[in-house]
Amino acid sequence: MSVENAKSYYLGKDGCKKSNCAEAVAHAFKDKFNMTDEEIALFARWGGGQSPEGQCGSLYAAKVMLEKKYPEQIKVCESVFLSTAGSLKCKDIRSLKKLSCLGCVEKAGEFLDQIDDSGGQIIKDKSDLSGGDKKIIDACGLQCPGPIMLIKQAIDQIQFGETIEIAATDPAFPADVRAWCQSTGNELVNLKLEHGRTIAIIRKKEKLAVAGTPVNGVLSKTIVVFSSDFDKVIASFVIATGAAAMGSKVTMFFTFWGLNVLRRSESVPVKKNLVEQMFGWMMPRGADKLSLSKMNMSGAGTWMIKEIMKKKNISSLPEFMLSAKQSGVRLVACTMSMDLMGIKPEELIEGVEFGGVATYLEQADQGNVNLFI
């Protein structure tokens, strides 16, 4: 198995040259993904958290190879790492201690090993009720809305009539999976509790008319993010990613203090007058600088809840934001508020759109749920 080869390269065993985590994965899957020696040589720079955005080298190597043949599997691969390692970043994975460096190499290798020629992640020798292969998803340890997001990604990759099986330990999962199937029109074939895990089998169905569904068949949700309080922003993104996982078109409209969520963490050289500079100094710069609305205690409360989130395997706010963008959630910055508070477009993160009240109201008119947070 290539996963064993990856471990041998990482450890320098069985005649394999000792390599960093990224190189080990690349060497092991060279033939499967048609990697050249020149391409593999590039992986030498990506070990030890040196890959772009500080990602795990094993994960980044897997994503580079998947991009060549199976780009639709990249999001699934990231979800697997989030559910098992607790983060996509090497530094965070090491601090959480859920997965060792060798464990990351093994996890990336296992994922790549399971990709068949059609690009589907299949675990063999598991049969669904119709006798075919069944996609298996391990969402144990992943908190809401993680399991539902994994279901959505998996369902999108199979054909009508095929099934997936998912195991989860989230206490809300039994109710959530029923609600997800009811909302999306897919069939919940079986739901059982086994050894502390909830196991659900879901069959993909052609979506029938669902109460509240508009003529075009796509539900729409809008969320106005007015606050920059950490807890309120987390709630906003939990709802947004959950709605996207249930097939809704989601628009988040950031206005006034909510714009701080979209600011880059680093200082950006832009021309501002004195008042605009003062606003910039006084407001939090980016998602990592937000404070709790209650019990902040000069930042101690925010630090404590972030630590609890790590231990409970709950995604960080930046990870929720990444998941939202990957799920197609629109992040719209209010241009009037930007002008009022002296925030320039260059200061905002990538992927943000710009609009005014008409942009929001157009989406709100189409939506069946509109929230103000």
Class of CATH domain 220-372: alpha beta
Query: Given the DSSP bridges, would you call strands 352-355 and 330-334 parallel, antiparallel or unpaired?
Result: parallel
Residues 6+ apart with CB under 8 A from 16: 5, 8, 9, 27
What local confidence, expressed as pLDDT, does residue 121 receive?
Answer: 42
- Helices then strands, each counted (H, E), the chain: 15, 9
> pLDDT digit string (tens) for 22-37?
999 999 998 888 888 8
Residue 119 falls in which region: left (phi positive, over 0), alpha (psi -120 to 50) or beta: left
Query: Given the DSSP bridges, would you call strands 197-203 and 187-194 parallel, antiparallel or unpaired?
Result: antiparallel
- Residue 61 and residue 20: Cα distance in Å, rounded? 11
Residues linked to residue 371 through DSSP beta bridges, in sequence order:
223
> Are 272 and 280 within 8 A, CB to CB?
yes
What local confidence, expressed as pLDDT, does residue 129 receive?
Answer: 38
Residues 6+ apart with CB under 8 A from 215: none
E-strand spans in 292-361?
Answer: 330-334, 352-355
Q: What is the fold of 135-203?
A: Translation Initiation Factor IF3 (3.30.110)
The whole-chain average pLDDT of the chain stands at 84
> pLDDT digit string (tens) for 113-157?
876 544 444 333 333 334 445 677 888 877 888 888 888 888 888
- The more confidently predicted of residues 335 and 219 is 335
- Residue 188 and residue 58: Cα distance in Å, rounded? 35
- Residue 341 and residue 280: Cα distance in Å, rounded? 8
- Residue 153 and residue 122: Cα distance in Å, rounded? 14
Question: Residue 232 corresponds to which tokens in the numbers above?
Answer: 């309120």
Q: Is 77 among the residues known to form the active site?
A: no
The three-state secondary structure class of 212 is coil
- Average pLDDT score over residue span 262-287: 87
> pLDDT digit string (tens) for 1-16?
588 889 999 999 888 8
Q: Burial level of 262, CB count in 10 A (0-12/13-18/19+)? A: buried
What local confidence, expressed as pLDDT, does residue 222 receive?
Answer: 94
Q: Which of 16, 21, 56, 144 is catalytic?
A: 144
As annotated, the residues of the chain forming the CATH 3.40.1260.10 domain(s) are: 220-372
As annotated, the residues of the chain forming the CATH 3.30.110.40 domain(s) are: 135-203
